[in-house]
Amino acid sequence: MARPAFLEIPRPKTFLYLMSLRTGTELITTTVLINKISGLYGILALLTGQHLSPLQLSMYIYSILAVLLTLYLMPHIRAQSPLQCLALAWFYAIDSAINAAYTAAFGVAWFLVLATHPDDTGKKAPGGSTIDEHSGFTSPKYNVSHVDIVAAPAAGLSQDAAAVGSGPGTHAPAGLGNAVFQSGSIASITIISALWALRLYFVLVMLAYARAVLRQHIAQNSHTYPTASDAELAENPFAEGKEEGQGWQGRLGRLMVRVGKKYWLGKDEDQTWVQAMGGRFNRKSNAPAVDPAGVFERERRRRSGTGPPPPLQIPKFGGQGVSPQ
């Protein structure tokens, strides 16, 4: 039974309708490098004596590892290596989920700090101390409504001036709703949501390019007609017994293809995948597939030299020893 269309993963064929998927994948991978390079500056901050929370330190260490992995996988985009392109697509999807978790954690802590009344010293939101230390305005040293400048005469022609705060400040009503529905907060949430919608599209582009590379590899290197219980699936290039299925790389490839198997190996609705594969899909029944014996037999005879004799060469009229009748 076919799944509804809205449950299918979208499969972009171009990047922003302007560039190819390969160009889009290279641009997206470059943005990953630019984004993750900030982890190096975070580690350098430790050398200057900057205090980092465990959450910040884990994010910086992860960013450095992500840069190294991206630098290793990026050259394989042009080489169209199926295993490496699959790994790059899966890494980008997992990295997006990790970044979403970090962003959500920071956003919740931020709004909880804004919702906390400055006089409620006993209430402290998770991560509030770090936010107070780096922002400043969430926990001011002096809380006043306005400041008066008081000048007093001093010796000579100079004067002494002092800033005097008048009365306690008037605070905005505390509460999570008031913190979230401020004009500045709504604008920030809108921008972040738009950026994450774009990030989701980037994930689809990365997956679509890896899918195209994998299917092109299957079309160029598949010479058998396998049978299996799965219907209308191309043969797995990382299956055991194949060249790409050897060792840890084969196990990694089988693991990546197993998740969303129909997306990677299934046919398209327009049947273009069936036509490109020449019918190399698994049959619904367990009956063995029939090979085109005639084609293989003629090729065998041609290579062994036992084929039919070449056609008789008839010399053209006007040649030596031949005259037209």
For residue 142, pLDDT beyond 60: no
Of 63-72, 155-164, 224-233, which has the strongest mean pLDDT?
63-72
**Tell me, what's the pLDDT at 154?**
60
For residue 134, pLDDT beyond 90: no
Task: Transcribe 225-254 into DSSP letters.
Answer: ----SSSSBPPPTTSTTSGGGSHHHHHHHH
Cβ-in-10-Å burial (0-12, 13-18, 19+) of 236 comes to buried
Residue 307 has φ and ψ, to the nearest 5°, of -75, 180
Nearest Cα to Cα of residue 4 among 271, 270, 201, 269: 269
Nearest Cα to Cα of residue 98 among 59, 57, 41: 59
For residue 245, pLDDT beyond 80: yes
Nearest Cα to Cα of residue 62 among 87, 42, 90: 42
Cβ atoms < 10 Å from Cβ of 304: 8
Each residue's pLDDT tens digit, 19-62: 999 999 999 999 999 999 878 888 887 788 777 778 788 888 99
Torsion on CA atoms 265, 270, 276, 277, rounded to nearest 10: 40
Side-chain half-sphere exposure of 211, counting CA atoms within 13 A: 23
Q: How far is residue 303's CA from residue 198's CA, in Å, rounded to a whole number? A: 55
At what angle are helices 82-115 and 247-258 packed, to 10 degrees?
60
For residue 9, pLDDT beyond 80: yes
**Tell me, what's the pLDDT at 70?**
96
Residue 70 has φ and ψ, to the nearest 5°, of -65, -40
Q: How far is residue 233's CA from residue 142's CA, in Å, rounded to a whole number? A: 69
**Tell me, what's the pLDDT at 279?**
45
Q: How far is residue 280's CA from residue 157's CA, in Å, rounded to a whole number? A: 97
- Evaluate whether 168 touches 144 at the Cβ level (below 8 Å): yes
Pairing of the two strands 144-153 and 159-168: antiparallel
Predicted TM-score (pTM) of this structure = 0.68
Nearest Cα to Cα of residue 213 among 3, 64, 63, 25: 25
For residue 144, pLDDT beyond 80: no
Q: Which has the higher per-residue pLDDT, 262 or 128?
A: 262
Looking at residue 202, its amino acid is F
List, in order, residues 6 or more apart from 259 with CB less than 8 Å away: none
For the record, the structure tokens of 175 come out as 């509460």
Cβ-in-10-Å burial (0-12, 13-18, 19+) of 185 comes to middle
